[in-house]
Structures are given as structure tokens and as C-alpha cells.
Structure 1
Amino acid sequence: MHEETLGSGIYLPEIHDTVFNRAEDAHRFEFNGSARDYFRIWIVNVALSIVTLGIYSAWASVRTRRYMYANTLFEGSPFEYLARPIPILRGRLIAAALFATYIMASHFSRTLQLVTMGVIGVFMPWMIVKGLMFRARYSAWRGLHFRFIADYGGAYQWYLLVYMLMAIPLALSGLLAQGGHPFTGMVLFLAGFFLFYPWLKGNQQQWMAEHHYFGGKSFRFTREPSAYYRIYGAALGIGVLCMIPSGILMGLMFNAMVKSHIDPRQHSIPVLLATYLCIAPTYLIMWTYVHVRMTNALYNQASLGRYQFESSLRFWPMLYIYLGNVLAIIFTIGLAIPWAKIQVARYRASCLQVAGEGRLEEFTQRTSGADVAATGTEIDSLLGFDIGL
């Protein structure tokens, strides 16, 4: 939760957006980073990561996050990222080994590949908890560290068992399709997906938020289940509307190929690129809408003590930023990536604030003692790692 708050990588008409309007004091976030300064860090990171075959990427992540955190201010004070690269590197090596094992298993037998995928799925909730613990432990503001309290039972419940339940409609839809009822199978799959998935995402946000602590106090989360169904229902409607022009473009393209006596199988790469070009805008619009609404839902339902978070991200400004970023990255062959990240971080920070009565200085002074006592009992960083989740 804290990472999105810091703006270092923070998740159509704004109907049903939950935006609070309160009379209490508002404490706003600011982001003061510049594309020129970040470009110097980024270009060195890319060069050294290439030269070292990716090993330097752990150091690159630390440098990037430290820059982003240091340029994100709350009440005039910057955030701090205090992690060291070695635990991050160790975590990435473990993740790379798991992925390599999965790829290698596919060359031997389908059964071995499925077993490997199952083993990875069993370990994934554990890795999610470890990653959240690591990020929280090494994130701080005014000398106070965030904390994530390990809850492996909750992680396995919301990141494994519920997904296994969601697989039941998928399996049944596959059986119906094989039995000659593909339409019925598709309806069953969509019904199962939209019944479980919004409910699942709401519970995942609540689990993540309520296990984060800052200054000796835990974050609280007041979940509104219907909000998640509205978000994904609207996203589905947007996707259907966007697929109409995409489908027309694809139809015109294939019709032109038929008239020109062009065999798509002999020009698979151009056809594939043209298909992606038709579908990409739909994906970007849907992803942006869900990302904006889910980010607002996360923060607007979260509180810390008597302080309430307020997120006011809007779809159209965010889509405009993303479109500009995509075009800039394409036309500069990737050199505009630092500028794009700075644009997104600045907008996200500008749309986030904390409302509540009193002074934050009093809150941090009153709770600092509890945080010191708690951090003294945490495990050493050798047992924590970050896999970039």
C-alpha cells in the first residue's frame, strides 16, 4: 500500500468514483522529481544492467526507488527507501530460477510442466508476504518505518484458494465446449468470473491495507463490495464498446488482404502486428479505467488513526498521460521512459491527500516509541527479499 502512496509506481466519466469532501485539514502529497535528473540515473542503470547481464538490476531498483521516494514529499518531508540491493538480487534470482524451471519442464512433458506450475502457485502467496514485508520495512517517513505484519493464512486464502475456486467455472466451461455447447460454456465462465473476481479484488485490497502499520498504528479499510462490481461491470461495458471499432478495423484489414490475394499465413508477423495495433487501444482504455478506479477505491476506503486518505485520480487525464507516454517512448526508441515515469508519478502524487483534524507532528511523536519497540523484534533483512511484486 505504501509504495503506491509514495507515487514511485502508484494502482470515461468518473461515475461512482468515491471521492471524499471533508472540512478537516488536508495534507497533500507532492512530487518534485525532474525528467532530466532521473534520466541520468536511468541511463546508467540500463547500461550497467546490460553489461552485467541483469545482475545490476537490483542496484538499479534501489537507486530508482531512492530517487522517487526522496522526491515525494508529505508535509514538506521526503520519504526514504532504505533497502540494500543484495536481498533484492537474491529474491530475483529465486524468481528467475522458478521461471527457468517452468520453461525447462515444458520441454520434457506436459505433466511435469503442470506440476512445476502447481509448485510455483503454492509458493507464490509466501513470496507475496515476503515482498510486502521487505518493502514496508525499508520504507520510512520522518524516521518512522512502515511495517507489514505477516499473515500467511490470509495470503494463501486470497492469493491461492480463491483462485482455485475460480478455476471451477473455467473447467466446467471447457467441458461444455468439448461437449458441443461452447456458448453455454462461455456464459458460465463469464458469470463465474464476474461473480468471484470483483469480490476477490476487494478482499485482497482489504487484506493488504489492514496488515500495514505506520507509527505503531494499523491501517483500517472500510470495504464497499458493490463498488468493485461497478468498476468491473463498467470496464466490461467499455471493452464491448471499444471492440466495435477495433473489430471493424480488423475486418477491413482482412478484407483488403483477401482482395489483394494475400495469404495471412505467409505474412504472419505483419498480420500479428496489425492485429495488436487494433486491439492495443482497447486494452489501454480498459486497463487505465480499472487502474484509476481501483486506486481510488484502495485509498478512499483506507485510514490511519483519525486520518482518512483521499484519492482523486481521473480517467481522462490519466489516459491522456498514458497515450502521450506511449507515443513519446515509441518515437524516441525508449529514451522517453524516464520522462514518462516522472509524468505519472507527479500526477498521482497531486491527486493524493490525507484529511484529518490535528497536526501530524503530534501523531508521529506520540507513536514513535511503539514503532521502535516493534522494529526491534523483526527478522533480519537476510530473511526478507523483494521479487518486484
Structure 2
Amino acid sequence: MTNTSDPDQHHTGTGQTLPIRFTASGRDYARLWLRNLGLTLITLGLYLPFARAHRLRFFRQHTQVDGEALDFDGDGREMLRPHLLLCAVLLLYILIAHEMPLGAALLLLGALPFWPTLMLRSLRWRLAHTRWRGRRLAFHGDAAGARAVFLPAAAPLAVLLIGQALLAGPQAEFDDGGGWLMPALVSLALLALLALLPWLHARLSRYRHANFGLNADAGAGAGTGPAAQAERTGLDASVEPRHFYRLHGGVLAGLAGALLINLLFATWIDTLLAAAPVLTGLLLDMTLLLALRAWLVAGTQALLWNHTRSAHYRFACHLPLSRLLLLSLKNLLLCVLTLGLYWPHAVVATTRLRLESITLSRLPGTN
């Protein structure tokens, strides 16, 4: 039975709001982060799947929904084999990229079809080992759907990889009449990928948000409430690729604006950077990138979670761009001043802001 005296619970015309809280501290995460970093470096990256499992457990156990924390019981052993395969492919690519650029490109092309399957396996692992009130989360997507997400990028990506390999290798001896063809094809492939990026973002987001789930409670009997039935989320049809093109267009406009300012006020900028050109220029670039990232993250999170729901639950998100941007700038400044030691605290602060901007509501008529 719900405790209606809980001050964190709110009843509205659309149901009961289940507050989300993040209770971790930067100091606690710093200890875990340093341990994971040290063991990953000592083992030359082999510890990375286990570090990821420890990190997920930390963040899950410090995330409370309606006053009850999530739990994570996975470990890194299940993801060790995919991790080793990725490491082997990357190592082989590094070894042959200089002497055999075409072979390296073909290696990447041969490995790319397996990437959606690895992504799917990672999603299932993360959610299947996460529990809330004894019920496990789930991901219901299949491998065919994962491959379909990235299928539009297959042709331009193949042209880009093979074209770059041909231009970099000994095969790059073109005659005067056709020397422009391969660079033109590579440029067109790159432009095509950039044009497809918002669409791919939309396809991936729909694939993910339409397949999140919460398994049924085996002990709930034959009830009809959310505890007795499996839940599966859906993303409203109103979320269209044009929304993602607008978000990515804002990033492109920001980059173009920065370039225009640099061209128009080059003399003033050179004077500003004269005292410490490298550090000042780096800070300005990072500030711009943080602002553009905040725009994309805040817009995407609000767009997706405000249109995600299941049969018994719905989500809402209010993540002000100004708060995320100010927090990002604060984190950048403190990371610079502490030579990176503030990083775990920055991660915790950002996670808290993003998580607590999401609200979960139980729809009327469910127990």
C-alpha cells in the first residue's frame, strides 16, 4: 500500500509522481574511480569490463525511485569476451594500418556489422542486472532492429574507409585526368555521413526508448496492477527526425558562429591570446564545446523522456539548459584548477542534475 503521507510523493490529475533522487557523493565515487583507473592501467585495459560493472553498481545503488534504491548484480565476466574481441580488432588495426591501409579498412568494415550486436548485448546486460523493488529491468530490442538502425550509414561509411585507405596507400597514384575522383568521393561520403547523423540519432533513440522494460513480479499473483504485469516503454510518434536535425543544427550553427567571430575579430582574439595562447585558446575551445554539448544533451533528454511512457507509467523531464551549462563550466574550471582531480565530483554533480530532472508518474487506476 502506498504511504500517502510521504512528502516526496505527489498526487496529480495524471497520477502519482514517484520522485527520483541521486544520493552519491563525489568523495565516495572518487575512491572507486581511482581504484578502477589504477587497475585498468595496471592490467593494460583488461580490467575495464569489471571497472564498468563496479561503476554501474555504484550509480544504480545511489539512485532512488520513490524512496527505494536500484540495485545492480552484474559483474564484468559476461562482457569480458566482447571486450577482448574489440581489443584484438583494435590492436590488429593499429599494427597493419600504416603498412596495409586498405587491409586495415577492410578489417574495420568486416567488424562493423558486429557493432550493433555488441551494443544490444551491452544494453541487455546493463538492464537485466538492474532491479527495482525486486523487479528486473529489461531491454526487448533484437539484433535485426539494432542492425537496421545503422544500415543507412553502411554505404557512405564503406566509401569513406576504402577511399581514405586508397588515398593513403601506394594505390594513390592516379593519373592527371582522374586524380580528383577519389578525393571527391571521400568528401561526398563524409558529407553524407554528417547529413545522416541526426537521422541516425533519431533512429537509435527510438530503438532504445521503444524497448526498455520492467519485468513482471513473479509474486504478484494474478493482479492487474503494474507490479503484476511486465512493462514496456514506447516513444510517441510525434518525436520525428526533424527534431534531431534542429538540435544538431544548433550545434552546427554554434560552430559556424564561432568560426565567423574568429574571422571577423582575428586581431582582437590574437591580442587576447598573446599572454598564454595555448592555455587560453584551449579553454575557449572547451567552453564552446561544453556549451554546444549542453544544448544537445538538454534538448535530447527533454525530447525523449517527455515522450516516453508505458502502460502504467509515464516520464517527464525538465532540464534547464542554463543550469546544465553553468554546471559544466563550473566543472571545467575546477577540473583545470585541480589538475583533473575534481573529475569524479563533476561526474556525480552532472549525474545528479540530469537524473533529478526526470520525474516518473504512475498513471491513475494502477496500484
Per the normalisation by structure 2, the TM-score is 0.76
CA gap of 1:35–1:108, structure 2 versus 1, over 3 A, is: same
CA gap of 1:102–1:242, structure 2 versus 1, over 3 A, is: same
Please, which of 74, 82, 85 is the counterpart of residue 91 of structure 1? 82
**Residue 343 of structure 1 pairs with residue 345 of structure 2:** no
> How much does 1:208 deviate?
1.4
**Corresponding residue number in structure 1 for 2:154:** 164
CA gap of 1:251–1:146, structure 2 versus 1, over 3 A, is: farther
CA gap of 1:281–1:256, structure 2 versus 1, over 3 A, is: closer
**Corresponding residue number in structure 2 for 1:207:** 207
**Residue 56 of structure 1 pairs with residue 56 of structure 2:** no
How far, CA to CA, are the matches of 1:107 and 1:168 in structure 2? 19
Amino acid at match of 1:107: H
**Corresponding residue number in structure 2 for 1:153:** 144
Amino acid at match of 1:43: L
Matched-pair contact (CA < 8 Å) for 2:235–2:307: yes
Amino acid at match of 1:243: L
**Corresponding residue number in structure 2 for 1:112:** 103
Q: For 1:1-389, what aligned pairs fall within 5 Å after superposition?
A: 23-159=14-150, 161-167=151-157, 178=180, 192=192, 196-215=196-215, 216-223=230-237, 224-225=239-240, 226-247=242-263, 276-358=282-364, 362=367
Alpha-carbon displacement from aligned partner over 1:243-273 (angstroms, at most 9, x marks no partner): 334456766677999x9xxxxxxxxxx9887
How far, CA to CA, are the matches of 2:285 and 2:200 in structure 1? 27
Q: Gaps spanning 5+ residues in structure 2: where?
A: 1-11, 168-177, 216-229
Per the normalisation by structure 1, the TM-score is 0.72
> How much does 1:335 deviate?
1.4
CA gap of 1:353–1:166, structure 2 versus 1, over 3 A, is: farther
> How much does 1:108 deviate?
2.6
Matched-pair contact (CA < 8 Å) for 1:166–1:196: no
Instruction: Name the one with the larger helix percent.
Output: 1
Percent of residue pairs bearing the same amino acid type: 20
How far, CA to CA, are the matches of 2:189 and 2:92 in structure 1? 34
How far, CA to CA, are the matches of 2:267 and 2:115 in structure 1? 41
> How much does 1:321 deviate?
1.3
Alpha-carbon displacement from aligned partner over 1:199-252 (angstroms, at most 9, x marks no partner): 322121111122222132211111421322222222222222233344567666
Amino acid at match of 2:317: S
Amino acid at match of 2:350: V
Amino acid at match of 2:302: N
Q: Gaps spanning 5+ residues in structure 1: where?
A: 1-20, 260-269, 363-389
CA gap of 1:203–1:51, structure 2 versus 1, over 3 A, is: closer
SS of 1:30 mapped into structure 2: strand
SS of 2:99 mapped into structure 1: coil
How far, CA to CA, are the matches of 2:33 and 2:203 in structure 1? 36
Matched-pair contact (CA < 8 Å) for 1:219–1:304: yes
Higher RCO structure, 1 or 2 (CA under 8 Å, sep 6+)? 1
Of the structure 1 ranges 213-222 and 242-251, higher mean CA displacement relative to structure 2 is found in 242-251
SS of 1:335 mapped into structure 2: coil
Of the structure 1 ranges 50-59 and 37-46, higher mean CA displacement relative to structure 2 is found in 50-59
**Corresponding residue number in structure 2 for 1:8:** none
> How much does 1:30 deviate?
0.4
Amino acid at match of 1:92: H
**Corresponding residue number in structure 2 for 1:369:** none
